Amino acid sequence: MNIIDPAPVRKETPLKLYGEEFHSRLLLGTAQYPSPKILCDAVKASRTEIVTISLRRENARQKEGRKFIDLIGSLDVRLLPNTAGCNSVKEAVATAEMARELFDTPWIKLEVIANNDTLQPDLLGLLGAARVLLRDGFKVLPYMTEDLSIAEKLIEAGCEVLMPWGAPIGTGQGLRNPEALKTLRAYFPDIPLIIDAGIGAPSHAALAMEFGYDAILLNTAVAKAHDPVTMAKAFALAIDAGRNAHVAGLMEPRDMAAPSTPIAGTPFT
């Protein structure tokens, strides 16, 4: 019996952000976990290489915050501080500067919030803060809506990555405006695009990756799951599946049925 060799496994193209390469396409938040151990186990199960951390939250914890930072440092992942809770350019810039000093990194997830109920980004404030920080040597990952015009302006300012929301932070609604997200992807084919916020299920993440998005950033869907560790693994698998499907090439939907098995040559006609 002849044994057919399996097809070679396709080598995945690394995710490139500001000149650095990452093999995981899942970025994970670190808030709201039931315990430090569960957080650590979830990070490991997710295979993430980048985790986000809120400077304001850790400042509020004081000594406890220092222990938390040391814990995250032991996981061998890149720390991505964010400016969560900032409502103005001044606040966001000051928070980013403190984060750079505290964590010794120029990377910053930039948030400037317009409305505290919806947590919708203030796009004008976001652009203003990004311009200041980029001039000061920061590597800015801006949390934005799917707006094309602000995307163009952020890229012109020097952003090499864009992070549009799928839905408002913490809602778990998934991709609320899929057509706009597809348009954004088509309009900026060479810019890394990361869905940030609103992802509630692994299927949401897989769909975004099928659209051609480069990565997913999420927090609540894992941290608040009944079993965060298993959920982290589920998201990692879903993102891999969506990415592979996009690279392989999804079939186009058809208006009419088409048999997968030809009817010509069948014994009954």
Distance CA 209, CA 246 (A): 7
Report the DSSP beta bridge partners of residue 22: 15
Catalytic residues: 109
Which residue is listed with tokens 């992802």?
Answer: 199
Q: 114: burial class by Cβ within 10 Å (0-12, 13-18, 19+)?
A: middle
21 CB-contact burial (10 Å; exposed 0-12 / middle 13-18 / buried 19+): exposed
The mean pLDDT of 69-91, rounded to a whole number, is 88
- Is residue 121 pLDDT above 60, yes or no? yes
Residue 13 pLDDT: 87
Residues 99-117 have pLDDT tens digits of 999 889 999 999 999 988 8
The whole-number pLDDT of residue 1 equals 47
Closest CA to 180 of 141, 208, 140, 214: 208
Task: Quickly state the pLDDT bin for 162 (edges 50, 70, 90).
Answer: very high
Note the pTM of the prediction, 2 decimals.
0.88
Give pLDDT tens digits for 6-28.
555 556 789 999 999 999 999 99
pLDDT confidence tier of residue 122, bands split at 50, 70 and 90: very high
Task: Calculate mean pLDDT across residues 146-174.
Answer: 95
